[in-house]
Amino acid sequence: MEQLKPILDALYAPQAWFLAQSHYVSMTIVGLVIAATLTLSGFVLARLGYKPLWALLLIVPTANVIGLWVLALVKFPREKN
C-alpha cells in the first residue's frame, strides 16, 4: 500500500487543491470555466453557420454527446456543394 501512495497523491493533488479552496473561490472557477466553454463553442457554432444558442446543450450531460455526434455527421450550412 505504501508504494501506491505517491501515485495516488499525484493523481488526486489537483482535486485536493480545488476542494481546499473557499466555497466562493471554487464556484467562481467553475462558473468561469463554464462561461468560457459556452462562449468559445458559441463562436465556433456561429462560424459554422449555426445559432450560438446551441452551445447551451453542452451543459446537459447526455445532450452534449448527442449534439457533438449530430454536429460531426451533419453537413454544415456554410459548406458549398
Specify if 78 maps to a domain. no
* 81 domain residue, yes or no: no
Position 68 in a domain: yes
Boundaries of domain holding 10:
5-73
In a domain, 47, yes or no: yes
Residue 79 in domain: no
In sequence order, what DSSP letters do the residues of the chain get, joined into one string?
A: -TTTHHHHHHHHHHHHHHHHS-HHHHHHHHHHHHHHHHHHHHHHHHHHTS-GGGGGGGTSHHHHHHHHHHHHHSPPTT---
pLDDT > 70? residue 33: yes
Q: Total domain count for the chain?
A: 1
In this prediction, residues 58-73 reach a mean pLDDT of 91
pLDDT classification of 81: cutoffs 50, 70, 90: low
* Residue 12 domain-assigned (yes or no): yes
Question: Is this prediction's pTM over 0.75?
Answer: no
pLDDT at 61 over 70: yes
